[in-house]
Each structure stands twice: as C-alpha cells, then as structure tokens.
Structure 1
Amino acid sequence: MKPVTEDAKGYRRLIPSLTALVEFEAVARLSSFTLAANELGVTQAAVSRQVRFLEESLGVRLFHRLHRSIKLTGEGEALYFVVAESMQRIAGVYDRLSNGGEEQELVLATTAAFSHFRVLPRLPELKRIQPQLKLRLTTTMFTADLRHNEVDIAVRYGNGTWRDGTSSLLFDEEVFPVCSPAWLEANASPQSLAELAKAQLIGSDSTSEGWMGWEAWFDAAGLRPPRLQYALRCSLYTDAIEAARHGQGIALGWRRLLTGLLDAGELVRITEASVKVRDAYFVVIPHGHMITPATNSVIEWLRGGAASA
C-alpha cells in the first residue's frame, strides 16, 4: 500500500468535504436547493447542511438567500467557476475512459435562425472534417443561462460579456435589405431610402437579443420615415426570410446568416445601403467545460467562411 503523501494530506486539510463541493455545485448551477436535492437524490435539508458547512469552513457566505430565490455572492461565484470546471474535467475524462476513448456527444446551442441559416446547411462540411463527432443541436435564446443547460458550446449575439461563460469573437455583422430575384424582376428597384420605405417590406418582431427591425434600420441608415406599411409581418425571422425567398417582398438580411442564400442567388441585395451593427456573434464556453480538440474544431467550423463573407 502506498503511503499517504504530504500533498494528499494537504488536499484533505484544505478541502474538508468533496461531498459538500458536489452539492454546492448543483445548487449554484440550478439556483435552487430543492432542484439540487432532487438531482442528487438527497433531502433539501441535507444539501443545506453541506452548503452551510462549506460557508462555515471558509468563513464567507456563498449565497444571498432571498425571499423566493438564491443568488451566488462574489465568493460563491469564484468557488463555483473553479469547482464546475474541475468536475467537468473529471467527468469528461471518466466518460472517455469508460467508453473506450471514443469522442462524446457535443451539444451546440444556437437560436433557431442561426441554426437554420448558418449551421444546418454547413453540416456536411463538419462531418467531413470531424467524421466521429456526434453533434446535438439545441435551440435557445441568446440570453439563456448556460449554468442551467447541458451545453458545450453556445452562440450568442451581443457585446461578448456574459457571466456564465467565456466568450470569443466569431464574426461581426451588418444588415441590409434583401429580396428574391423574382421579386426584383417584377418590381422596380427602390432608388432611395424614401422609396424603399414605401416598398413591400416584410417585418419580423425584434428580439431580446437586440436584433433590429425596419424602424431601427432606417433610423441607423439616416432616414426617419412615417409609419411603415408592411406587406407582411412575421414573429419569426426565419419566416420573414422564407417569405422573401418566395417573392413576397423585401426583408432585412443579416449578412452572416444569409451568406449561403446570397451566394446561391436565392436572395439578392436590393440596395448598397447597409448598417454595421455594434454587437457581434460570439461563441461562449460555459464555465466548467473543457475546450477539447473537438470543441476547437467546431468553433473553427462555425467561424469558417467569415473572412470571405
């Protein structure tokens, strides 16, 4: 039997309870003592005792206990990020060893529009460069808290600053009007922003992520038209683009999303007017998740074609 080393003794002294850390991680990730207890198969009282034990051992509060919710303190966030990352690393190695070293499933979270226009059409390329990769797509809002979801990579549009993961730039974005070649053939092309404002516009509801609608686009382009009269309004951006493809009018085109349709000639730009938005697309890795070679490969695939676009 190997003797217990001084380092091992030190770990036991500094980390008095691995059980407490496991239960703390579940509470922090789920923002609930009750949900953590259900996940771990123990009582809520047992989870509370373990977290209280950690707080007493450290001499700091890990959670703000509010009336109907809990929130990590600054010290709690610092501990959570380290614990979550360490547990993910252990779990990842364990999974690979227990499955004979095979690559595990990778979960990619995007909005429906990003998945529809940017991810799905390019899946054959990903299968070519990563034939063993098992990809699972999940649709989320850009603002969904990654700590509450089993996500390996998320794509978000914004300023790149989020508290639940580490972000890196995918690409910037610009927005301009698009229509189908058939619509352009059947209708006179607007010669000014004022004429464009009176054309058959297809609108889609603005989202909480900051995607602009026609009113905001005209304002950014330098025109404040009277109340717009839409030929069609959609709640989903994907529907607005499909309507434009089928010749129903002019929609706002987000360049990075529509590169494939523009290159294929299914959509065309109707004017040189364009708005470069301040925010951009970022890839976000949730805290506690390892960046593996497969993860890097997917990120580069997501970024692929950005320069040429």
Structure 2
Amino acid sequence: MKGLFHQHRHGDPLPSTPALQEIIDLCRGVLFPGYYGRSTINRDTVKYGIGVDMERLYNLLVEQIEAGLCFCSDRTHHDCCDGDLHEHARDIAQRVVLRLPEVRDVLATDVEAAYLGDPAAQNWGEVISCYPAVKALTIYRIAHELEVLNVPLIPRIMTELAHSETGIDIHPAAQIGRYFTIDHGTGVVIGATCIIGSHVKLYQGVTLGARSFKLDEEGNPIKNVARHPVLEDDVIVYSNATILGRIRIGKGAVIGGNLWITHDVEPGAVMKQTRGTSAPDSMALYI
C-alpha cells in the first residue's frame, strides 16, 4: 500500500525514537536539575553537569533535526538533502538551545499552577517529579519550539512519546500560555490549532477537538485550517467535557464536567448540565 514503505536516500535515516527520548531526558535534566538526569548532582557540580549534558543535547539535536529535515513525504521537498542541510540543522539546534531559559521560565509557571491548584500537592518537588502534566508539558514546550522553527516529524514524535508516557495528547502546534495545568491528566486531548490563554486549568478526559472536517472537491479533508477551540485566560474545564470547533470560551468561564460544547461561551459564564430533558440545545446551561 502506498506510503507504508519509506526508502532512505543517500543513507539518510528517519529520526530515531530512542535518540529523541534521550533528548527529552536530557532536556528534563537541564530544565529540572536534581529532579531528573544526574542523581548525584549538587551545588558544586551542577554547572559542570549541565554543561556536559548541554553538549550532548546540542549534538543530538543537530543529528535528529537534520534527519527530520531530510524526511518529507515522497522526498520532493526542496530542502531535502541539499548541501546546506547540516548548517541549517545546526542553526535550528542553536536557536532551540538559546530558548531553553525562556522554556524553563514558562515551565516554572506551570509547576506553580499545578502546586497551587492541588491541595494534595505537598511540595514543589512532588509536582516536578510526579505530576504527569509537568512531564507532558515539558515535552510539549520543547516540541513546540521545534514546530515553530518548521522542523518536520520530530515534534510529533516527541509529543506522542509524552502521550504514551502520560496519557496526555497535546499537538505541538497548539499555542498554550503560562500557568497552565492539567489535573490528573489522563485522556486529555488538545488539537493542533488550539489557542489557550494563561491561568487555564483542565481536568482529566477533556477534549479540545474539531468538528466534522470540511471536504474538498475530491472528498478529502481540508487541512491546515483553524478548527479547534480558543480558551481565553482563567478558564476552567472540568473532567470529560468535550469542546469542539473553532469556538471561543471567554475569559473566566467555567465548563462543567461531561458537557458537549459547540458554541461560543461568554466571559465569566458557568456551564452545567440540565436535568429532565433530552433536547440537543439543552445539554448545557448558563448560570
């Protein structure tokens, strides 16, 4: 069947999943030293340990980004395997490395949101070490940097590794603000064109998805269109709620559990289930 066999040209392999997993592990160790990575690190050795890990991280990034740039469907992309590809991969890797302090700053807000939003959390270390949201967001925020720099394939592999590890499925192209957290996490889906503001909290089982795809003249789905929700700042979405389509959930709105939302929600509104009716338009109510 077409597409099920990929022939490497000029000895150029696809990106390596084990190598990308090592990149993830190195990033976690660099971003959260002492919690991930070298178990023997201390205040006297932390700079040296991070330096060694950064060198390994950079070299792996160059290698894998180059492999990703070489990969494209049908191998027809103008960038594939040209003479400047290695230099292009080095440039992208340098940009990603230079962005790591900003990524760490944003992740610190995610850790804070998880800690302050969960009375069961006893300390910051517990959140960093144990919470699936922090693990998934660490991978997502690195993958998003690669996505923004137009690296093919690698960002999706990375976020699918996070999906396998945590049960949280975040597309690397989604745009997510600061102080974001997902309580429990399992079963959460965040689509590619989602835009999520700051101080947003989701619970387990939430889907931020698309409605039925529009089709072209040949009956194929039209891709690369904005089709997922926009959540403004301070929104809370409770467990197993499904929010579909390019709709806007206004600032400070609260979406109750098990709701099906396909229309805009005004800022500050609270949505909950109604009782005693099966009417499709009465599945949710403003209060």
Normalising by structure 1, report the TM-score: 0.28
- Bigger CA radius of gyration: 1
Which has the larger strand fraction?
A: 1
